[in-house]
Amino acid sequence: MHLDTTTISKEPKGSPQSEHQPLTPSLSPSEGEREDLLLRRLAINMTLLWSLLRERMAAVSRCAEHPYRMKTLPLIALIFAAFAPHAQAAAPNDDASKQDLHAMQGTWTVVSSEQNGEKRTDLDAVRKMRLTIKNDQWTLEYHNNVNDQHAATIKLDPAQNPKAIDFRFTNGLLSGETSPAIYELKGDHLKFCFPDESKQRPKNFNSSEGPGGRWLLVLKRETK
């Protein structure tokens, strides 16, 4: 995974495009936002259905002489058993994703950048790198230059171990590509590990594993 501009070729792949192309703001919802909206709606609908089924079961159970009690109750119980786990599981995972994304909001400074097990030694250049996360938009700037950046739409899955994050790059050398990565968030400390050349999601934060190109980025929340 070659994102660090000190280790990658400046020659773009495919049709020529400028590395310094400014990020064009999008007024329409991103793919990640649309997926999150659909998941929230699904969780709400399933929760409502679950509540209705519970009420129906209670009503039928109270009517001992209900003519269809023996036929209706088992059917409702079957539907209840099928939907209840999904209704309970969808909302907590969505909530955890929202919580982590909310905690990531803001500006982060780079503490270290490591690739193939080797840390960058040009600390002055490393400290000039800035990561900004606004909603589901992830933007990494080099040398405090808005025209020298990588930008992506991110989607979190904290239910996985390690926690998973998917990047869909919208600007920079990797524009149009997707990257399955992992992340760790502890208070004001954040780190990402991007995949190697195999483009398989890393299973740990060891940048020296894999066929080459795995990149570990360690950050700290910027304080004013």
Give per-residue pLDDT as tens, 15-55: 444 343 333 333 345 555 566 666 666 666 666 666 666 66
Q: Can you give the pTM of this predicted structure?
A: 0.61
Architecture, CATH, for domain 105-221: Beta Barrel (2.40)
Give the closest residue to 217 by CA, choosing from 132, 140, 110: 110
Residue 221 pLDDT > 70:
yes
Mean pLDDT, the chain, as a whole number? 75
Residue 13 pLDDT > 50:
no
DSSP structure string for the chain: ----TTSS-SSPSSS---TTPPPPP--SPPHHHHHHHHHHHHHHHHHHHHHHHHHHHHHHHH-TT-TTHHHHHHHHHHHHHHHHHHHHHHHHHHHHHHHHHHHH-EEEEEEEEEETTEE---HHHHHT-EEEEETTEEEEEETTEEEEEEEEEEEEETTSSSEEEEEEEEESTTTT-EEEEEEEEETTEEEEEE--TT-PPPSSS-TT-SSS--EEEEEEE---
Compare 111 and 17 and report the one with higher pLDDT.
Answer: 111
How distant is the alpha carbon of residue 67 from its chain centre? 51
**Where residue 67 falls among pLDDT bands split at 50, 70, 90?**
low
Q: Which residues contact 47 (CB under 8 A, 6 or more apart)?
A: 87, 91
